[in-house]
């Protein structure tokens, strides 16, 4: 299972140190949450943050999770900033097909995200187009929330579709991941897990990471 640390859980005054801590633990990619105070009631990172991270840590894969209204207005900025993957919420747009095309045209990986109340059926037509599907296991907007275990059947459903279609999209989970909840996601077929507060809280990042296998 691939682990993507969410830097929303990091100490924002020491971001470079925090990224170095992840890198020294063997991490090769970061999950970067972008929020606009409209789609979710919080603010997050910006395209400038992504640019700074890529300039200082060019080898780190930057996965951008857009939790914004009108993602169409922002995707260009994140492509220019050097994002390796851009994920947007299906609930935030009526132009999903176009957005995926726009992202992939720039050789950036495209991901589609479903919030807890959105069923897998809504994104069925898009599964053959995207590189990854992110199943939110908390309500988007904040780190440190409890894992919603009722989301696990959606992971299993996606794994079943992937298997039957011989498809290659990654199945990712985000929110409330720790060494316990992680096992449910893994058993259901998730291939990538985002972890924020679990990894960054405390001073034993490496040890905690080693418990997520």
Residues marked active site are found at 33, 174
CA distances from 134 to 48, 59, 61, 100, 163 (A): 24, 23, 17, 14, 17
- When the beta carbons of 145 and 207 are compared against Zn ion, the nearer one is 145
Burial class (CB in 10 A: 0-12, 13-18, 19+), 124: exposed
- Binding flag, residue 65, Zn ion (CB under 5 A): yes
- Binding flag, residue 89, Zn ion (CB under 5 A): no
177 neighbors 6 (Cβ within 8 angstroms): no
d(CA 55, CA 39): 29
Task: Spell out the residues 6+ positions from residue 118 whose beta carbon is closer than 8 angstroms to its own.
Answer: 90, 91
> Which span (104-112, 120-128, 169-177, 205-213) binds Zn ion, by CB under 5 A?
169-177
- Binding flag, residue 174, Zn ion (CB under 5 A): yes
- When the beta carbons of 117 and 164 are compared against ligand DX5, the nearer one is 117
Nearest distance in Å: CB 49, Zn ion: 14
Residues that bind ligand DX5 (CB under 6 A): 6, 8-9, 31, 33, 65, 138, 140-145, 174-177, 194-198
Of the candidates 61, 62, 123, the one whose C-alpha atom is nearest the C-alpha of residue 92 is: 123
Binding mask 12-51 for Zn ion (x = CB under 5 A): ---------------------x------------------
- When the beta carbons of 28 and 165 are compared against Zn ion, the nearer one is 28
- 144 contact choice in Zn ion, ligand DX5, none (CB below 5 to 8 Å, kind-dependent): ligand DX5
43 neighbors 35 (Cβ within 8 angstroms): yes
- 197 contact choice in ligand DX5, Zn ion, none (CB below 5 to 8 Å, kind-dependent): ligand DX5
Binding-residue total with Zn ion (CB under 5 A): 3
Interface residues with Zn ion (CB under 5 A) are: 33, 65, 174
């Amino acid at each position: 299972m691939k682990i993507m640390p969410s830097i929303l859980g990091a100490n924002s005054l020491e971001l470079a140190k925090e990224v170095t801590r992840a890198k020294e633990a063997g991490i090769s990619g970061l999950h970067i949450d972008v929020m606009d105070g409209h789609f979710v009631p919080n603010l997050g990172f910006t395209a400038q943050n992504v640019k700074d991270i890529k300039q200082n840590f060019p080898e780190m894969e930057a996965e951008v999770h857009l939790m914004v209204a009108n993602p169409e207005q922002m995707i260009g900025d994140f492509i220019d900033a050097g994002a390796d993957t851009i994920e947007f919420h299906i609930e935030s747009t009526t132009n999903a097909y176009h957005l995926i095309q726009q992202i992939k045209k720039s050789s950036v990986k495209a991901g589609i995200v479903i919030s807890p109340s959105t069923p897998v059926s809504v994104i069925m037509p898009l599964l053959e187009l995207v590189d990854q599907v992110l199943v939110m296991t908390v309500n988007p907007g904040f780190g440190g929330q409890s894992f919603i275990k009722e989301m696990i059947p959606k992971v299993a459903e996606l794994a079943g579709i992937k298997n039957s279609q011989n498809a290659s999209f990654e199945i990712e989970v985000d929110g409330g991941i720790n060494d316990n909840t992680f096992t449910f996601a893994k058993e259901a077929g998730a291939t990538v897990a985002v972890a924020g507060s679990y990894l960054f809280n405390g001073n034993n990042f490496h040890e905690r990471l080693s418990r997520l296998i």
